[in-house]
Structure 1
């Protein structure tokens, strides 16, 4: 599951900055993501599509996109990666925010 390989919090922040620069439509088009319906990354008062942000973060960290056939990780693993990197994740259906605690991973 390629999302779990993401270990660099700064790559997630770079992806968030890219989302802001490109805008939602262009960003989602570039990273083949649809609009989020349930899970959102919360960062500095804004909500972001978890899957697309992680696709971009993966590309920033590993210098190539996630292979298309490997993009469908279970939603829990996506939110688990973000929480492990210290980000907050909103489950829109449960109206629940879970906070992450950054845990440095061995390289």
Structure 2
């Protein structure tokens, strides 16, 4: 490799390092109106869901935006997903989770 090619390759490597450093730089967190704390705590949301669904247990809880509202999504051990308004503690929606063994094409591929 000639001296010109070595210099060009070195310049390319330096350019990649600089661009990578700029692209993956740490960005400061900016406050927004959506970053408000919910009025209902996670524990209160779980208690509300378990009171409405006796005999179940919560296995996952997430704070999400649903229809421009802040809601707690509580997943139960019976495949129900219950959404609680994070400001009023009301149950907004209940969904049945997916059971992939009910899908005919996938039933044979999923272990029991």
TM bin (shorter chain): under 0.3
**Higher share in strand:** 2
RCO (CA 8 Å, sep 6+): is it higher in 1 or 2? 1
TM-score, reference length from structure 1: 0.26
Bigger share in helix = 1
